[in-house]
Amino acid sequence: MSSIYHTVRKIWIIALVMLVPGCLDSTPESLEGVEISILAESFVEGDLISFMASGNNPSGAKFLWDFGDNTGSSGKSVKHTYSDEGAYTVTLTVVDEDSKIGVVKEDIEILYRNQAPVASLDATYGGLGQQIKVNSIAFFDGGASSDPDGDVLEFEWDFGDGSTSSLLRPNHEYVDTGNYTVTLTVRDPSNETSTVQTWVLVNIRTYRVEFIQNEITIPAFAGYTAEGATTTQNHAYPYNLTSVNYDLEWEEDEDLDSPENPVVGTLFPDDFSLGVSTNYLFNLTENGTSGNLELNFDVLSSIPEDLVLSFGSENEVMQHLFQNGYTSAKGQGSWLTSITCNDAPSIVPELFTEVDQGNDWILYVSYTYYESIITEI
């Protein structure tokens, strides 16, 4: 019964105060000198910002904060995080023990938080690493990279051998063997970066070298040489010459025969000389009266054995063969062929006079040489 009485009494007292004019001043006394101190490394959405009541801070006062984003807090020192960019007004209300009220406002600009890009390599072009042969081209693709903000990205490639590129999809030739680390760095307009790496293993090339011998027959040369005269021919041969064969053929003057004198031609045998001279070999001459002369030259006694070599390119293999005696220059230069129809008087000159003082001939030339067949394995 006593508690009910006290409650009713309090209500009546409050009501009486409210009804009696002048008993309560509706305008509280102002508290001057209240200030706001803001501490933050940056004013960016998502960052934690510290707010502190400074200036006039009476003992026992209450501090009420309104951060301008429909949130608030209490206390002399508070912290707050803005989730969105924009302009906000921070309001601090201080009420001391004498009900004096101080209000201060501070405008704050919260900036957009840039999100870092994401560097990524397309697996088709080296994203998972790749192996190539030396002096080959490796392909790269940074097209899988992205930026959460939709910004245009810059691409910075480091191929691990001192070479770089700024292309989205570059290619690069590696001229030395080794294992290279390739780094892609993407950069957005706010200078935020992201990096991804891959590898390129550059292997040496291996070649099989086979040596094969070829035989070439030169189209026959035909001519006529008078007695006492010489007809010459020049020949040139390729590298790696192994042998040369000359075959001179002619017919006796059987066309002078007649039913009355069936052996006239044989009484005037043609004596031919076949000579070959070159700056590689001593001059060699052969004589004959049988209608055939043949000269053979063995330039190289054998050809090299097959090889397996490791080099960076086919050109390097060819250079190795040349520098190490697998390519022969023997037989190079001009080979001069001399065909001489020697004076061949009649066997019975007092009875017969030779009508045809010379003869037609055909020269057959063939040669062999070896070549290297280079195949990468």
Say if residue 136 is in the same domain as residue 28.
Answer: no
- Quick: pLDDT tens for 277-331: 887 665 677 877 778 899 999 988 899 999 999 999 999 999 999 999 999 988 8
User: Which of 47-56, 80-89, 255-264 is predicted with the least confidence, judged by mean pLDDT?
Assistant: 255-264
Please report whether residue 5 resides in a domain. no
Q: Which residue has the higher pLDDT, 282 or 364?
A: 364
Among residues 161, 179, 203, which one ends one of the domains? 203
Please report whether residue 266 resides in a domain. yes
**How large a percentage of the chain has pLDDT more than 90?**
65
Q: How many domains does the chain have?
A: 3
Residue 241's DSSP bridge partners are 369
Please report whether residue 19 resides in a domain. no
Say if residue 222 is in the same domain as residue 346.
Answer: yes
Among residues 173, 203, 233, which one ends one of the domains? 203
Say if residue 139 is in the same domain as residue 249.
Answer: no
Position 22 scores a pLDDT of 42
d(CA 182, CA 71): 49
Domain encompassing residue 196: 123-203
CATH, residue 365? 2.60.120.380
Say if residue 364 is in the same domain as residue 261.
Answer: yes
d(CA 9, CA 3): 10
Task: Give yes or no for a contact between 251 and 301, defined as CB atoms under 8 angstroms apart.
Answer: no
First CA to last CA across the chain, in angstroms?
111
Please report whether residue 10 resides in a domain. no
pTM above 0.85, yes or no: no
d(CA 92, CA 88): 13
Band (pLDDT 50/70/90 cuts) for residue 6 is: very low
Strand arrangement of the beta sheet that strand 101-110 belongs to: 72-74, 62-66, 86-95, 101-110
- Residue type at position 74: S
- Quick: pLDDT tens for 156-213: 999 999 999 999 999 999 999 999 999 999 999 999 999 999 999 999 999 999 999 9
- Quick: pLDDT tens for 231-285: 999 999 999 999 999 999 987 655 444 555 554 444 455 678 999 988 766 567 7
Say if residue 253 is in the same domain as residue 300.
Answer: yes
- Burial of 94 per CB tally in 10 Å (0-12, 13-18, 19+): buried
Q: Using alpha carbons, list the distances in angstroms from residue 35 to 28, 54, 109.
A: 19, 5, 18
Please report whether residue 372 resides in a domain. yes
Say if residue 213 is in the same domain as residue 191.
Answer: no
Helix, strand, or coil (residue 321): helix
Q: Using alpha carbons, list the distances in angstroms from residue 286 to 16, 81, 275.
A: 156, 111, 6
Predicted confidence (pLDDT) at residue 343 exceeds the cutoff of 80: no
Pairing assessment for the beta strands 193-203 and 130-133 based on DSSP bridges: parallel
d(CA 147, CA 305): 61
Please report whether residue 11 resides in a domain. no
DSSP 30: B
Say if residue 369 is in the same domain as residue 225.
Answer: yes
Say if residue 360 is in the same domain as residue 212.
Answer: yes
* In 40-115, alpha helices (H): none
Task: Give yes or no for a contact between 136 and 211, defined as CB atoms under 8 angstroms apart.
Answer: no
Position 284 scores a pLDDT of 73
- Burial of 2 per CB tally in 10 Å (0-12, 13-18, 19+): exposed
Please report whether residue 241 resides in a domain. yes
Please report whether residue 304 resides in a domain. yes
Position 4 scores a pLDDT of 33
Say if residue 28 is in the same domain as residue 100.
Answer: yes
**What tokens does 271 get?**
């004596």
* In the chain, alpha helices (H): 2-19, 314-323
Nearest CA-CA partner of 196 in 122, 104, 112 = 122
Residue given tokens 């030396």 in the structure block = 134
